[in-house]
Amino acid sequence: MRFNKLKLGSKSVKKQQGFYADVLGFGIKKSTTDQLVIQAGFTEFIFSQQLDPPNLYHFCFLIPTGSLE
């Protein structure tokens, strides 16, 4: 199974950018005050600013051994 797009709510889009782009190095496709779109492999992650997101999310990346620089 492959996810092409995943939409997630976030209390702080700015903090998401700090982690996914600055720490993990994923490419930013779009960044505004209320939305962040990053590309991770085949998947586009869309973080939308929400004052009170309904749930907390947890997901992981399976990175094959030897594929990181």
Does the pTM exceed 0.85? no
Band (29; pLDDT cuts 50, 70, 90): very high
Quickly count: other Cβ atoms within 10 Å of residue 13's Cβ: 19
In the numeric block, which tokens belong to residue 54? 């309904």
Classified as helix, coil or strand, 30 is: strand
Instruction: Report which of 16, 36, 38, 44 is spatially closest to residue 26, judged by C-alpha positions.
Output: 38
Question: What is the DSSP code (8-state) at residue 60?
Answer: -
pLDDT, residue 2, reads 78
Which amino acid is present at 9?
G
Residue 6 has pLDDT above 70, yes or no: yes
Phi, psi of 11, deg, nearest 5? -75, -25
